[in-house]
Structure 1
Amino acid sequence: MIEEKREDLAAWIAGQAGVERVTVTGLSKLSGGAIQENWAVDVELPGGPQRYVLRTDSPSGVAVSHGRAQEYALFRAAFDAGVTVPEPLWLEPAGDVLGKPFFVMRRVNGVAAGHRLVKDDALVPDRTALARRIGREMARIHTIRPPRADLDFLPLPDGPPALAAVRGFRAWLDGQGTPQPVLEWGLRWLERNAPPAGALALCHNDFRTGNYMVADGELTGVLDWEFAGWGDPLADIGWFCAPCWRFGARKREAGGIGALEDLLAGYEAEGGAAVDRSLIPYWIVMATMRWAIIALQQAARHVRGGETSLELALTAHVVPELELDLLAMTKEG
């Protein structure tokens, strides 16, 4: 559909850029994107060629994912806070050009594939430096705090963020009618061990290896902000460090990339609040639980939701491994 709208897209970009004419010289769908689509857009402007990414909805979606106008606002807030994100340029919220909303941002170079970044030292020659850089990026994200008029679409958690998450997970499981004893055990553990509520901050909620770009060993862009929301900053650290997001490099606690202490050193050096190390295991359990719930939800979209997809169907196959991780992390004694 987007290929058929090439001329309409070129005219819209020309209007946004304030030039008389734009030629779209390249238009191709990028890999990934089960929830959103990303398109590489190469254009010729009067001042020379430019490389953009167009981000729009995929045919299927997830209810908790933000819309494109909301995600654009999140990119803008992050960019203004000094987070290394592709610069958001223009938003088309009405769907008049392509038949669905989209926004355009600058294209950054790099590799995002997690299985490559954790294994290939040529891509990440200095893992200590990259882990510290990621910690600094997280700290910058967490400087964004409520209330924010530009982010007023983000609801505040109903009570302590940890307990609010547990309630949401339990409500979804209860509605499925299928026993999940390990996950129920994990939810009860999370409920009983919930930490006191701290200061709320903007959490990316999907900051992990695979959702940032690396070029020449340097982080070039933090991607995929469609799940961001107000929460406990430690939730981002737990998600990044969960074993399920280390892509097999389990000994490197910081996302399969480097050492946890290097991540935290970067975080604290950037001005992030001093991290209570004793709380990180809790948020790693929370992250593992969250991914298990998401995996079941993805499978349900395939089985009962009318979205025939091999990718969705296979996602549920990660649940047994996540259950083993949950049992290992919550065992008593």
Structure 2
Amino acid sequence: MSSLNAASQAAGVRSDVANDEGLLAFIREQAEAHRVVILQRKQLSGGAIQENWLLELQVDGGPWAGVQRWVLRSDAVSALPASLSRAEEFAVLSRVHRAGVKVPRPLWLCRDTAVIGRAFFLMEMVSGIAAGHLLTGRCASGGNPQLAAELGANLARLHQLRPPSAELEFLPVPSTPPALAAIAAYRAFLDQHAFAHPVLEWGLRWCELNAPSDSVVCLLHRDYRTGNYLASEEGLQAVLDWEFTGWGDPREDIGWFSARCWRFARPDLEAGGIGPLEDFLRGYREVSTLHIDREQLNYWQVMATLRWAVIALQQAQRHLCGEEPSLELALTGRLLPELELEILRLTTGGAR
């Protein structure tokens, strides 16, 4: 067992330096320090697919001398097939950080699994609130127009990145329209699933019949939503969790962000539960010329709900098969009826 896994029994206490020898040696080398001590560590909340640990460090010597607060990000016990590796996620984070997207500053990648038992990378700690129910529950009746606009502009900066990219060559560029490729992948998963899901099949067929005829390909976050960014009273601080990044249609990210399933305490606020959609799109249009109308948005919200339903089934399977027993994963699978109702609501009009 790695030292960080063992620390789950004592999060927030001083580390046992003997158990952390490999990790401290790695940090000393990267930080060009002559001594590093872990003052405190804490496993951060969330992380159903990855683990995130806050490390408070005393760094002696070198350019990082002083007390530092860094986050160590590694694989969880099991992962979803669509998730990037930590090396790939680190490459994505580095590229988008240079593009001006608000993300935690990436520091160093460690591919040597002997250090803590898994590959990991370190990034700077960013302060703010990420919890979806807290962010949406604190919104005034009209939401938070500033935050919604900042989120729109930030997403548009990400969407300025287009293939090809030598740094991101591990990300496959779609050879077919992105929507149809996603439909085929979801259908293949359902075909192998032990139980039938007729509403999901209905949704897939509806999306197939109504698939957009045009598509621009750009870099997507693919989990850009309330709950995956940090915000404070000053506004947006950083977007987190880049493990699903890939090339695709920019409207996919907008549909995911605005889908009802990610509005938490404020289903009436279409921009992620924190503001009117118009404010989000206003910020987006300050950076991008992309136009998305109501019909297009409805389509990509159906796609988002279908994708979340498939992920919910995958998360439940991780629990049911014994791979990673978890109440959180089991409860995620119980979201399916709610998602099916939303698919039926959005597709009432049938095919065009």
1:216-255 equivalences under 5 Å are 216-255=233-272
Number of residue pairs aligned between Structure 1 and Structure 2: 332
Match of 2:68 among 29, 35, 50: 50
> What residue in structure 2 maps to residue 7 of structure 1?
21
Say which of 163, 186, 189 aligns to 1:169: 186
**Structure 2: how far apart are the matches of 1:19 and 1:324?**
56
SS at match of 1:26: strand
Q: Per-residue displacement from partner, 1:9-28 (whole Å, max 9, x unpaired)?
A: 22211110112222221122
Residue 65 of structure 2 corresponds to residue 78 of structure 1: no
In the alignment, the residues of structure 1 paired with residue 168 and residue 101 of structure 2 have an alpha-carbon distance, to the nearest angstrom, of 16
Match of 2:343 among 307, 326, 331: 326
Structure 1: runs of 5+ lacking an equivalent: none
Contact persistence 1:139–1:272 (CA under 8 A): no
CA RMSD in angstroms comes to: 1.7
Q: Deviations over 1:246-279 (max 9, x none)?
A: 0031110000010111111100102352334431
Question: Given the alignment of the two structures, is residue 37 of structure 1 paired with residue 51 of structure 2, yes or no?
Answer: yes
CA distance in 2, matches of 1:258, 1:125: 7
Encode CA deviations 1:22-75: one digit per residue, 9 max, x unaligned.
Answer: 222112211111111100011112332111000011112111101100000010
Select between 111-120 and 152-161 the one with higher mean Cα deviation: 152-161
Match of 2:137 in 1: 119
Q: Is the 8 A contact 2:142 2:275 kept in 1?
A: no
Matched, 1:265 2:282: yes
Q: Which amino acid aligns with 2:92?
A: L
Q: 1:24 aligns with which of 38, 55, 74?
A: 38
**1:301 maps to what in 2?**
318
Bigger mean CA deviation after superposition, 20-29 or 126-135: 20-29
| Residue aligning to 1:59 | 77
Q: Give deviations 1:136-162, integer Å, cap 9, x for gaps.
A: 110011011111011011012240000
Q: Distance in 2 between matches of 1:83 and 1:288?
A: 26
Partner-residue secondary structure (3-state), 1:118: helix
Identical amino acids, percent of aligned pairs? 51
Q: Which runs of 5+ in 2 are unaligned?
A: 8-15
**Distance in 2 separating the partners of 1:157 and 1:80:** 24
Q: Which range is displaced more, 146-155 or 297-306?
A: 297-306
Q: Distance in 2 between matches of 1:125 and 1:183?
A: 33
* Alpha-carbon offset, residue 95 of structure 1: 1.6
Aligned counterpart in structure 2 of residue 183 of structure 1, from 200, 204, 207: 200
TM normalised by structure 2 equals 0.90
Aligned counterpart, 2:167: 150
The residue matched to 1:287 in structure 2 has which SS? helix
Deviation at 1:308? 2.0
Describe the shift of the 1:168–1:305 C-alpha distance in structure 2 as closer, same or farther (beyond 3 A).
Answer: farther
Structure 2 counterparts to residues 282-301 of structure 1, below 5 A? 282-301=299-318
- The one of 221, 224, 227 aligned to 1:207: 224
TM-superposed deviation, 1:217: 4.2
Q: Which contiguous aligned blocks of 4+ residues in structure 1 show a shift greater than 6 angstroms? A: none
Letter in structure 1 aligned against 2:96: A
Aligned AA (2:51)? E
Classify 1:187/1:73 alpha carbon distance in 2 versus 1 (closer, same or farther; 3 Å).
Answer: same
Partner of 2:108, secondary structure, is strand
Provide the C-alpha distance between the structure 2 equivalents of 1:306 and 1:8, rounded to a whole number of angstroms: 28
Once residues 21 and 76 of structure 2 are traced to their aligned partners in structure 1, the CA distance between those partners, rounded to angstroms, is 21
Contact preservation (8 Å) 1:34, 1:60: no
Q: Answer with 62-71 or 3-12: which moved more.
A: 3-12
Give CA-to-partner distance per residue, 1:168-210, whole Å, 9 cap, x none.
1111101114221111110110000000231210100001000
Corresponding residue SS for 1:54: strand
Alpha-carbon separation, structure 1, partners of 2:222 and 2:142: 27
Rounded Cα–Cα distance in structure 2 between residues aligned with 1:137 and 1:298: 29
Using the TM superposition, give the Cα deviation of residue 305 of structure 1 relative to its aligned residue in structure 2, in angstroms: 5.3
Structure 1 CA distance, aligned partners of 2:323 and 2:37?
39
- CA–CA distance in structure 2, aligned partners of residues 217 and 246 of structure 1: 21
3-state SS of 2:129 partner: coil
Local SS of the residue matching 1:240: helix
- Tell me, in whole angstroms, the C-alpha distance in 1 between the residues paired with 2:346 and 2:231: 31
Letter of the 1:96 partner, please give it: A
**Residue 107 of structure 2 is aligned with which of 84, 89, 93?**
89
- The 2-side partners of 1:36 and 1:14 are apart by 24
Do 1:142 and 1:272's aligned partners in 2 also have CA atoms closer than 8 Å? Answer: no
